[in-house]
Homo-oligomer: A and B are copies of this chain.
Amino acid sequence: MEIWRVNTRTQTVRREPVPKEWEHLGGRGLSARILLDEIPPTCEPLGPYNKLVFAPGLLVGHRLSSCDRISIGGKSPLTGGIKESNAGGSSGFALAHLGIKALIIEGKPVPQGWWVLHLSADGARFEPADHLAGKGVYATASLLLEEYGDKVSLALIGPAGEMQLRAAGIQNLDQDGVPSRIAARGGLGALMGSKRLKAIVIDPAGGEKPPIADRASFRVAQKAYTKALVGHPQTKTYADYGTAAMVNMCQYFGSLPTRGFSVGQFEGADQISGEHLRDLLLARDVESKTTHACMSGCAIRCSNIFGGPDGKAIVSPLEYETIGLMGSNLGIADLDAVARMNREVNDLGLDSIDIGAALGVAAQTGLLDWGDSERALALIGEIRVGTPLGRILGSGAATTGRVLGVESVPVVKGQAMSAYDPRAIKGTGVTYATSPMGADHTAGLTIRAKVDHLDPQGQAAISRGAQISMAGYDTLGACIFAGFGFAAAAPGTIAKLLNARYGWSVSEDILAQLGQETLSLEREFNRRAGFTSADDRLPEWMTREPLPPTNAVFDVPAEDLDTLFNW
């Protein structure tokens, strides 16, 4: 495999061999290594010294269920720290089939004109994209698929990324060619916008499946993993309800963000639950009943296409995080309304978590009544137009709180929390506080741990385990849910897959090794960027203000947070 290094100022491409020290890494871990090796950690995120890295995980390219994810990395315009945001869809698979271990996008062009970066077996080229400027993600994807054929993969930004708004993400196509798999978090869409790239077209034609050193062993391990995954009860839950299954679980624990994270249970939870979502989809004549797969070959199929009363698709997928942040968090008990908001932020290329949190902050100032989805849609419309208020909201919850004068903002390191109030799920609070990524449930969700989530003791250890595993999975290119399968399969399944794929002889604890190495690289980057233990904290108000109905505050001892990464 190769490193493709693209300079956006000179519009040149260099194809380089993979340095020895990078070989054992992929995805998130490789991205961290590259950023630490190549960019000044104190650099301006939207300036010429930052780089945007696309790295498929180590297991990407083989249609291994839920293991074809793309990791996108850079210094975050949102947090100022290192950032990896990953997504499903087909981008990772396509890059792997072109033999690209990492695509490194460098430099900063003059700020005029937009470009498409086209990658194929013939190499890379820039093509003018001014005709796409200002267009939403859906229209842009359609035009690009028309122009380049529907076999290509795409990574693209919407108007939010063009405006360099710090809640902008990077959209990727799902297996149906819908731009719906967003690497949402941390403002990487703004970073891509600063490089003046509207889209990356990845044409895998002429590429090939990555080589496998020992096909027979790979097949055996793959079978064991798939079987364990398919048989896992959680897979059935997700296949039935999608991630929206989480609504009732969070409601049960009193951790469902409600009305600006002021309450942990929502009286309208039934109307936004996974069960209700499923009933709606079954009752309506929606194209794809209940759920489907975002990546070809995925056995979990947690994704859905949400259709309106007429059966026509509104958005795909409608996920728990969006439902939590744009539903209960805004007091909106209406999945159709949430779906319409979701579609709008998708089309703008924005992180629905940070925008949902920002709207919750705006509601605290009276800019929006709780439950008023029309007003919420109008506010999202302001982002599209780029009004001052739109730019405030599009900059994410932290900046919205700062500008509008709201203290109760659910952020860590400037990034909004996902839909788990950390006062009632304290292990996830530890993850929010300490993850190098800022608040992010995908960095280490603890809600399934069989512990008292209100007890501050012992949560750090649970978070540590989850963070290590997730950093490992992100390095493999495996979805958060792949872990169900790997955990249930015979020990060493991951090692067997890697050894068969690469001809390595890594040991059974490779997941933890990769996870720890990745976290260490990321922590080191952040340290050099100026982060300290003062940044590894939840916002002060969550330590002061009790969360009904549990009336919990976040009280995990600071010492636990500060020693979490001592390994």
- Shortest Cβ gap from A134 to chain B (Å): 15
- Shortest Cβ gap from A366 to chain B (Å): 12
Q: Which of B42, B47, B532 contacts A537 (CB 8 A)?
A: B42
CB of A43 closer than 8 Å to a CB of B: yes
Q: How far is the CA of A441 from the CA of B394 in the complex (A)?
A: 34
CB of A389 closer than 8 Å to a CB of B: yes
CB of A176 closer than 8 Å to a CB of B: no
Contacts A530-B535, A532-B532, A540-B47: A405 and B391 contacting too (C-beta < 8 A)? yes
Q: How far is the CA of A47 from the CA of B399 in the complex (A)?
A: 17
- Give the residues from 364 to 406 in chain A that come closer than 8 angstroms, CB to CB, to chain B: 387-389, 391-392, 395, 399, 402-405
CB of A528 closer than 8 Å to a CB of B: yes
- Shortest Cβ gap from A329 to chain B (Å): 21
B540 touching A534 by the CB < 8 A rule? no
Oligomeric state, in copies: 2
Q: Closest residue to A530 on the B side, CB-wise?
A: B534
CB of A541 closer than 8 Å to a CB of B: yes
Contacts A388-B392, A540-B49: A403 and B407 contacting too (C-beta < 8 A)? no
- Per-residue 0/1 for A515-546: is the Cβ within 8 Å of any B Cβ (1 yes, 0 no)? 00000000000001111111101011100100
Q: Which of B395, B407, B531 contacts A47 (CB 8 A)?
A: B407
B529 touching A405 by the CB < 8 A rule? no
B44 touching A540 by the CB < 8 A rule? yes
Q: Closest residue to A390 on the B side, CB-wise?
A: B388
- Shortest Cβ gap from A464 to chain B (Å): 22
A534 touching B528 by the CB < 8 A rule? yes
Residues of chain B contacted by A528 (CB below 8 angstroms):
534
Q: Which of B46, B399, B407 contacts A407 (CB 8 A)?
A: B46
- Shortest Cβ gap from A170 to chain B (Å): 18
Q: Which of B43, B47, B403 contacts A388 (CB 8 A)?
A: B403
Residues of chain B contacted by A166 (CB below 8 angstroms):
402
Residues of chain B contacted by A407 (CB below 8 angstroms):
44, 46-47
A163 touching B46 by the CB < 8 A rule? no
Q: Closest residue to A540 on the B side, CB-wise?
A: B44
Q: How far is the CA of A163 from the CA of B404 in the complex (A)?
A: 9
CB of A277 closer than 8 Å to a CB of B: no
Q: Closest residue to A398 on the B side, CB-wise?
A: B402
Q: Which of B44, B389, B532 contacts A541 (CB 8 A)?
A: B44
Residues of chain B contacted by A392 (CB below 8 angstroms):
388, 391-392, 403
CB of A104 closer than 8 Å to a CB of B: no
Q: Closest residue to A42 on the B side, CB-wise?
A: B534
B164 touching A540 by the CB < 8 A rule? no
- Per-residue 0/1 for A224-240: is the Cβ within 8 Å of any B Cβ (1 yes, 0 no)? 00000000000000000
CB of A165 closer than 8 Å to a CB of B: yes
B403 touching A395 by the CB < 8 A rule? yes
Residues of chain B contacted by A44 (CB below 8 angstroms):
407, 539-541
Residues of chain B contacted by A46 (CB below 8 angstroms):
407
Residues of chain B contacted by A402 (CB below 8 angstroms):
166, 395, 399
- Give the residues from 185 to 218 in chain A that come closer than 8 angstroms, CB to CB, to chain B: none
B47 touching A541 by the CB < 8 A rule? yes
Q: How far is the CA of A533 from the CA of B41 in the complex (A)?
A: 12
Q: How far is the CA of A402 from the CA of B46 in the complex (A)?
A: 11
- Shortest Cβ gap from A82 to chain B (Å): 13
- Per-residue 0/1 for A16-53: is the Cβ within 8 Å of any B Cβ (1 yes, 0 no)? 00000000000000000000000001111011110000
- Shortest Cβ gap from A528 to chain B (Å): 7
- Shortest Cβ gap from A507 to chain B (Å): 37
Residues of chain B contacted by A531 (CB below 8 angstroms):
530
Residue of A392, A531, A537 with most partner-chain B CB within 10 A: A392
Q: How far is the CA of A407 from the CA of B191 in the complex (A)?
A: 13
Residues of chain B contacted by A395 (CB below 8 angstroms):
402-403
Q: Closest residue to A395 on the B side, CB-wise?
A: B403
Residues of chain B contacted by A529 (CB below 8 angstroms):
534
Residue of A399, A403, A532, A537 with most partner-chain B CB within 10 A: A403
Q: Closest residue to A393 on the B side, CB-wise?
A: B388
Q: How far is the CA of A544 from the CA of B44 in the complex (A)?
A: 11
- Per-residue 0/1 for A158-179: is the Cβ within 8 Å of any B Cβ (1 yes, 0 no)? 0000011110000000000000
Q: How far is the CA of A392 from the CA of B49 in the complex (A)?
A: 27
Q: How far is the CA of A539 from the CA of B537 in the complex (A)?
A: 26
Q: Chain A interface (Cβ within 8 Å of chain B)?
A: 41-44, 46-49, 163-166, 387-389, 391-392, 395, 399, 402-405, 407, 528-535, 537, 539-541, 544
Can you add 18 more A-B contacts, CB < 8 Å, to A387-B388, A388-B388, A388-B403?
A: A41-B534, A42-B537, A43-B540, A44-B407, A47-B544, A49-B540, A164-B405, A388-B389, A391-B403, A391-B405, A392-B392, A392-B403, A399-B399, A399-B402, A399-B403, A530-B531, A530-B534, A530-B535
Can you list 29 contacts pairing A with B, beta carbon distance less than 8 Å?
A41-B534, A42-B534, A42-B537, A42-B540, A44-B407, A44-B539, A44-B540, A44-B541, A48-B544, A49-B540, A163-B405, A164-B405, A165-B405, A387-B388, A388-B388, A388-B389, A388-B392, A388-B403, A395-B403, A399-B399, A399-B402, A399-B403, A403-B403, A529-B534, A530-B531, A530-B532, A530-B534, A530-B535, A532-B532
- What are the 3 A-B residue pairs with the smallest beta carbon separation, nearest first? A530-B534, A388-B389, A388-B388
